[in-house]
Structure 1
Amino acid sequence: MSRKGFFQTDALLSELIRRHEANPSATRLTARIELEAFPNIETQDAFFGELAELEREGGIKVVRRRVAGEWTATGVSLLQPEVLYRRLGRDPSRIAVAKALSRVRQRSDLLAGAHEVIDEVGAAWERGVSRYGIAPLDDVSLGQVLDLAAAAGARSLEVDVSEVDYRTFSRRTARDSKALERQLPAVVHIMMTLFPQLDDGLKLRPAERLASAGIVRLAQPLLLAGPIVLDGESLPALPFVGLPPEEGSRVGLSGPATYVLTVENYASFVRHVREISSSDGGLVLYTGGFPSRAALAAIVRIASLADVPIFHWGDMDAGGVRIFRHLELALATCGIRLRPHLMDPQLLRDLGSVAERQPGIRRGQCTDSAITTLWDLIALEHLVHEQEELSPTRPL
């Protein structure tokens, strides 16, 4: 019997229906009557009168127990849910869900695999629970998520697309500028279901996966320091310069660089530029955290032009090694080998601390990589270390 007590008929019946829909095979569903909660005798008499009528119709059975020597109604057991549906003026969940989903199913633009997603959502909704964060019967949100997932997946397969921010992408695709931010995990999960060929084994976070498709919360500038020119023209003497990532093709080299270093976090980028590379001829690029598609293309292009050893310096945590691996795979397509800088297993053992949360990566997910040993250490021992805690050093 449910511990929560009831003294209003509709609330009690709704609770029995909720529990029935959550577990249709259950045969002993009982709700407790809160005998002390009735405000007056009239309310109590009306309540028990309604229960007696429902019992005569075969919908429920009133449970009676001896209390202080007298037989007293203490609960209600469900017998025939159809009687309760009629009393509440409600459709069974399977009918309400079918009606809601029919508006989505009848669309002609659904991708292969979308109907399986809809079936999965419907099965959860019939039990009265959300799926992918989409509340039961919210067919509008489900339609938006399917639209966003399809459009994001299509962008991921395109070779050359310009970056777009979340709200612009969401407004153009779902006619709601905030839909993507509200349903971000659902959009990416369903995108990966509809486009299984996108699975590269990296287990990227939702925002990282969208960034790889050129969809970003707010586009980070491409920050560079070192021997560079723009459109073949020399630049003023500045510690570093910034430009939109999609303009990376306009960057060239003014002379040889001693190395290329990509840096995950802004503070560490600035420190390395000011303390190290201003005097050692290094070419340093800020990735903006997980690099967007445009930033990644610019990094690969500039690394190819430089033709010198390239390193990456980032956090020693799950996000940091995912970023390294993402860069490593992109550079490898051009025959460039990426090396870690200040991302060393022994350094992590010496300076790291145990993370409060599970890292979200597993041992063996990242093989044949310069970061494999560090990846496995983070996965097994849950050690983490932020790069800002380290002072910059030369990679060579």
Structure 2
Amino acid sequence: MGGRTMKKREKEKGRNVVAVILDRYEEHSSDWKKYGDEGAAGRRSVFVEQELYDEIGRQELIAQIVELSKKGLLDVKWYQTGSEVECFIYRLEDMNAFYALDGRRPKRELAQARLKELEELIGSREWKPWLLDSLEELRKPLEAGKIPRVYEKKEYYLKALAGLNQLNEPIYKRVFSKHFLGKSKVFENEIQGVVISAARRFHPDVDSDPEVMSAEEVLSQIFVETYSQELWIKGPLRLQVCGKVSGFSEFPFGVGLNADMLKNAEICQEQDICKVVTVENKANFMKMPYEEGTLLVYTHGFFSPKERFFLKKLETVLKKKRVEYFHTGDLDYGGIRIFQHIQKNIFPKLQPLWMDEETFLKYAEEAAAVEEAYLDKLRKLSVPETLEGLKKCILETGKVIEQECMLWKE
């Protein structure tokens, strides 16, 4: 039993018999959860196999076992006294002594201490709901005496969550890491994956599917940017910037609005926009011609919080007019999810454009097959009535179509 357990463990420099005993003890929850309880008793055997000799060294292993047995902490069964050990036996009531020899803090005490730290952190400030959920997720295993794996990165993970709680504006990833974690690459190298995983589970604007929302898009939703943010538009939008009105109809091939523009520009109340079209892919956005009265907006996937805020302000201004809203994107699961995201968070009256059965059949030769798991995911997705035709086509054919294909067949 002891040998089989050790096969799963990586060799550690300086590992010894006491460490082997403590590791085995802490791998059995029925034992270590009782640590310190009055009357906790019992005997546990560790069978010595070749892996243990290889790890510690034959002579050193035997010497340590003999020394511990002389201290009354081990009973030993020998194949050959002094040279070949069958197993050694320790007693649960002696675990205090083993912890003292190793200098290790008992796992039960450690879990209780970390639970107390967690409760103090939760109560120390107001948390964004998704961050509070991320912290509360750690409570249950700690209460059960288990230490979540994120505690291997505890110093960084909890600091990162506290830093994210302060963000209300985008910040570059390495600036965030330097300011809140002390080094510019720590976030990316140590805990980015853990934070993204938490956001996928708890953030209301983050899709749980990595095939739908990329890691970079997830980070953007929590105000951590990996590149300069720009919202590309094409059409007659009018903005007031630094007291001057600028009309973008003079830029028929499109223009990018950077983060500072999105933050500081005021949307003019008078607009000549009667149609807004969001476009998932940039090649299609660039190819679509300037059209009087139509504002084209490149989505690059999912809009960031700042972009959503800007577009919601535009939607509020345009409410006084009869404006139509459309979205065109990939004819696949991701395209449908992006449509739903925009409809839910920005333009409630959004309608699909070129995302129907007729369009699918027109470009059917360009379709690519997908796996059954992908189709199962789509079957479970509730879609608006306007997208039922597209969903039906994908499920019946087992194929999807990327929006760029439409440019090839023009």
Q: Tell me if both proteins adopt one fold, taking TM over 0.5 as the criterion.
A: yes
Q: Is the 8 A contact 1:228 1:253 kept in 2?
A: no
Partner of 2:402: 386
Larger mean CA deviation between 318-327 and 367-376 belongs to 367-376
* AA aligned opposite 1:288: H
Give the structure 1 partner of residue 308 of structure 2. 296
The equivalent residue for 2:231 is 222
Which residue does 1:241 correspond to in 2?
255
Q: Counterparts in 2 of 1:290-329, with a 5 A limit?
A: 290-302=302-314, 305=318, 307-329=322-344
Structure-1 separation of matches of 2:199 and 2:55: 53
Counterpart residue number, 1:183: 191
1:70-103: CA deviations, max 9, x gaps?
A: x942444554344432332322222344455655
Q: Does residue 109 of the first structure (1) align with residue 129 of the second (2)?
A: no
CA distance in 1, matches of 2:207, 2:58: 61
Which deviates the most, 211-220 or 199-208? 199-208
Residue type of the alignment partner of 1:352: A
CA displacement 1:154-199 (0-9 Å, x = unmatched): x4xxxxxx54444445555566655654434544666798xx7x64
1:110-167 residue CA offsets vs partner (Å, 9 max, x unmatched): 458677444346468x65651xxx243x442243144135335xx4xxxxxx544444
User: Which of 139, 144, 169 pairs up with 1:119?
Assistant: 139
| Corresponding position: 1:95 with 2:109 | yes
- Tell me the residue number matched to 2:163: 148
Residue 297 of structure 1 aligns with an amino acid whose one-letter code is: F
Q: Which residue of 2 aligns with 1:264?
A: 280
Tell me the equivalent position of 1:159: none
Secondary structure (helix, strand or coil) at the match of 1:290 reads coil
Identity %: 20
Gaps of 5+ in 1: 156-161
The answer for the alignment partner of 1:20 in structure 2 is 25
Residue of structure 1 in register with 2:46 after alignment: 30
Aligned length: 366
C-alpha distance in 1 between matches for 2:377 and 2:388: 12
Unaligned runs of 5+ residues in structure 2 are: 32-42
C-alpha separation in 1, matches of 2:392 and 2:65: 62
Partner of 1:338: 351
Check whether the contact 1:331–1:338 (CA below 8 A) recurs between aligned residues: no
Q: Distance between the aligned counterparts of 1:380 and 1:123, measured in 2?
A: 48
Secondary structure in 2 matching 1:183: helix
For residues 189 and 15 of structure 1, what CA distance do their matches in structure 2 show?
Answer: 33
- Deviation, 1:239, is 1.1
| Closer, same or farther: CA 104–186 of 1 in aligned 2, 3 Å | same
* d(CA) in 2 for partners of 1:122, 1:178: 29
Partner Cα distance (1:213, 1:34) in 2: 50
State the match for 1:158 in structure 2.
Answer: none
Counterpart residue identity of residue 341, structure 1 = W
Deviation, structure 1 residue 214: 4.7
TM score, norm. by length of structure 2: 0.66
Compared with structure 1, are the counterparts of its residues 105 and 300 closer, same or farther at alpha carbon in structure 2 (3 Å cutoff)?
closer
Residue 48 of structure 1, CA deviation: 1.3
Measured in 1, the distance between the counterparts of 2:376 and 2:246 equals 45
1:51 is aligned to 65
Q: Are residues 209 and 45 of structure 1, via their aligned partners in 2, closer, same or farther at CA, if it must alter by over 3 Å?
A: closer
User: Is the contact between residue 199 and residue 206 of structure 2 (CA under 8 Å) also seen in structure 1?
Assistant: no
* SS in structure 2 at match of 1:86: helix
Q: CA RMSD in A?
A: 4.8
TM-score, normalised with respect to structure 1: 0.68
